[in-house]
Amino acid sequence: MTDIQPGVYEHYKGKKYFVLGLSRNTETNEVCVVYRPLYETDWPQLVHRNASMFFESVTVEGRQVPRFRKID
């Protein structure tokens, strides 16, 4: 994955996040998605997840759904 559209994404568990874009870990060369939660948290406002995990599907009630889906 080398591109992502910024915007609002919904996690399969229902919480919403604003995706800013991609980053690259300079030590491992791993591509990550940088985003911030659209709800109040007690942890840092900018977070990242490796892109392969962000874009993977998960099994929910016996069916495959995207971990995150763009909603705007």
C-alpha separations of 25 from 19, 40, 57 in Å? 17, 27, 23
pLDDT in tens, 4-47: 999 999 999 999 999 999 999 999 999 999 999 999 988 879 99
Q: Residues 1, 7: contact at Cβ < 8 Å?
A: no
Q: Tell me the pLDDT band of 3, cut-offs 50, 70 and 90.
A: confident
Domains of the chain (ranges; CATH) run 7-70 (2.30.30.320)
**pLDDT one-digit tens code per residue, 51-69:** 999 999 999 999 999 999 9
Asked if 47 contacts 37 with a C-beta cutoff of 8 angstroms, the reply is: yes
Please tell me the predicted confidence (pLDDT) of residue 13. 97
Residue 2 has pLDDT above 80, yes or no: no
What pLDDT sits at residue 44?
Answer: 78
